[in-house]
Amino acid sequence: MRTKNHNRSKARIIRALHTRLLAWFDTNKRDLPWRRTRDPYATLVSEIMLQQTRVTTVIPYFERWMKVFPTVESLANARLDNVLKLWAGLGYYSRARNLQKAAQSIVSRHGSKVPSDVTALQTLPGVGRYTAGAVASIAFNRVAPILDGNVIRVLSRLFLIEKDTTRSDVRDTLWQLAETIIPHGRPGDFNESLMELGALVCLPGSPLCEVCPLTQVCEAKRCGKSAELPVLRKRKPVRDVIQYALILQRGHQVLVRQRRDGELMAGLWGFPRFKSVRLMRQRFPHLAITRIGQIVHSVMNERITVCAMAASANGESPLSGHGDTEWVTIRKLRRLALPSADRQLADLASKPAVRYGQDHHQQHGATMSAGSRPSA
């Protein structure tokens, strides 16, 4: 009897998904720039950008990207520096590198046409099962399931899945469920409607059940467990990290370095960073170093406080053996591919108190003696 009831409930939910959800989507979907086209390349770009990034953040980046790299060929042939610069501030920079590699693969192996098959899409760098399903269904109307954070939340509540959704076996079950429920008609719209419901209504913690088109068939709503689902493994605790960025000046220029392959944010430029002032002084023992401020940013589960340390070069050589380094003006610095944190450091470097160099700081009694250490 329980199995029969379960099957009847599942069938009711699927019918509601195919009718009520699509009707709700037609009326309530947001006007997003990538929804105004079915260009597979634009769909691919948007899906890569939307990975772990909010829609409101992505919109201006997507619009700028499509102006600079309007075709897969233009991206494939671009300089990596230009690609990273356009991506700067969006985070997770491996996505930009992989997106260009995917474009190069599309040009060389697929005749400059984004493949429509899920299996072929998954051979592209940076394209996993979710992205392949999204591109295939949205751009090519292929019947291909998707599973992202929004969809996991919606399905967990609708079908009352009370197991840890980060477990591989539970994730497999969710993929099978996503494959079961997708209709042959309008599969792309259906996938987008699931994501849209999760983004606008079926919210984490406090779902808006009173306006949900599926509230009458939702098992979690019936059991009073909507706010408890999905079950997720506890996140790693945030770890506080302190770094020291050296703003080393030579006249109207500052020293920057390009991060090497294998480093976090490889290929991007920024101010040299050190784990401690002691290490900074070991490399530049004769510098009069001044702390001019600090910024705080987050990367994964780390909250990083970057202390900005300014000094005048006074004939000191660049960081030999410390990656690619270059002396640049502040004006040129702003044209480089810089992460958001280094853009904030560049703002500090452009202030008059920094540009005037060591003598100006000494007048204000701010110069640190050897062995002194700034507070966090």
- Contacts for 63 with CB less than 8 Å, ≥ 6 apart: 33
Query: What Å distances lie between residue 188 and 118, 146, 207, 301, 362, CA to CA?
Result: 13, 10, 24, 33, 64
Q: Which of 47, 192, 196, 219 is catalytic?
A: 47
Catalogue the E-assigned strands of 313-351: 324-329
As a whole number of angstroms, the distance between CA 317 and CA 326 comes to 11
As a whole number of angstroms, the distance between CA 220 and CA 160 comes to 5
- Contacts for 328 with CB less than 8 Å, ≥ 6 apart: 253, 254, 256, 336
Mark whether 47 is an active-site residue.
Answer: yes
For the chain, the distance separating the N- and C-terminal CA atoms, rounded to the nearest angstrom, is 64
Buried b / exposed e over 235-257, threshold 16 CB at 10 Å, is: eeeeeeeeebbbbbbeeebbbbb
- Contacts for 376 with CB less than 8 Å, ≥ 6 apart: 242, 305, 307
Query: How remote is the C-alpha of 351 from its chain's centroid?
Result: 30
Element (H, E) at 286: none
Q: What angle do CA 337, 341, 343 make, to 5 degrees?
A: 50
Q: Which amino acid is at 298?
A: S
Is there a contact between 217 and 158 (Cβ–Cβ < 8 Å)?
Answer: yes
Give me the active site residues, please.
47
